[in-house]
Amino acid sequence: MNYFKTAILLAGMTALFMGVGYMIGGQGGMLIALVVAAGMNVFAYWNSDKMVLSMHGAQEVDERTAPELYQMVRELSQNAGLPMPRVYLMDNPQPNAFATGRNPENSAVAATTGLLQNLTHEEIAGVMAHELAHIKNRDTLIMTVTATLAGAISMLAQFGMFFGGNRNNNGLGIIGTLAMVILAPLAAMLVQMAISRSREYAADRMGGEIVGRPRYLASALGKLGQLAQRIPNQAAEANPATAHLFIVNPLSGERMDNLFSTHPAMENRIAALEELEREMGGGRSDSFAPASGRGPWG
């Protein structure tokens, strides 16, 4: 089913590319956009994860450079029945995280330094379990490809504005160009929003099951929702098309890009996790609680 959704997404994004190409250069522009879109679809399938990680300055870590985080992800991956993903750190004060990769065998999880500094051991485990749930549900391909192509559509629309649109469309060049600049990125944003909101609830639930205590993730979300609004994420502000990848919205809300949030309401997510905690009868044992009761990163 996820492969079918991915195909529908790529087809929709390709249609957007062709529409923008037509507004820029008529039928010739549309054909060029079709070729470019086909090439980008192939490129995005194989390389979109690397592009997103690079956009956010993520650096891969291992047992030597980040032993606590790496061991935590390993244990959670075993709980989830997943192969060990690559683990990345982003030097960013905003506490946040995301997962990427075209399949569980080629996946990665990325956390910010702000996440490790502001959350407890248990809460970080809840966040990492949420990201592993995205991998297990095979959300990462469709969400990462969406981020790559949405950004490209926005850039192509701006390119059309710069060149003034198609000048041979019976006097509708200015109107068509303005509509393209506004509607093309908006359409891409709506696709992101629809995909992300439905997948976040599913990843929250599965993440709570993977970590064994849904309240760990609920507690983390409560903190992340407040801190993400106060601490800016400059990399995300520069690349708003990737916002839906993160566990909480990384954008400040000062931009037009944040008019429609790609994430569900935080109180609804927390309430669903609290209900899951009750359903699980308090969850499993505290396998991720350190003996001291404090997080290993201070």
> What number of other Cβ atoms are within 10 A of residue 107's Cβ?
25
Q: 63 catalytic, yes or no?
A: no
Q: Higher confidence at residue 118 or residue 293?
A: 118
- CA nearest to 147, candidates 134, 136, 159: 134
**3-state secondary structure string across 167-233:** CCCCCCHHHHHHHHHHHHHHHHHHHHHHHHHHHHHHHHHHHHHHHCCHHHHHHHHHHHHHHHHHCCC
pLDDT at residue 63 greater than cutoff 90: yes
- CA nearest to 19, candidates 191, 189, 183, 149: 183
pLDDT at residue 169 greater than cutoff 70: no
pLDDT at residue 258 greater than cutoff 70: no
Among 122, 123, 131, 200, which one carries the catalytic annotation?
131
Q: Higher confidence at residue 123 or residue 258?
A: 123
Mean pLDDT of the chain: 80
Alpha-carbon span 141 to 83, nearest angstrom: 16
pLDDT at residue 273 greater than cutoff 80: yes
| pLDDT value of position 242 | 83
User: Distance from CA of residue 15 to its chain's centroid?
Assistant: 22
Taking the complete model, does pTM exceed 0.95, yes or no? Answer: no
Beta bridge partners, 107, equal 101
Q: Which residues contact 136 (CB under 8 A, 6 or more apart)?
A: 80, 81, 82, 104, 206, 210
Beta bridge partners, 97, equal 111
| pLDDT value of position 142 | 75
Residue range 206-213: average pLDDT?
96
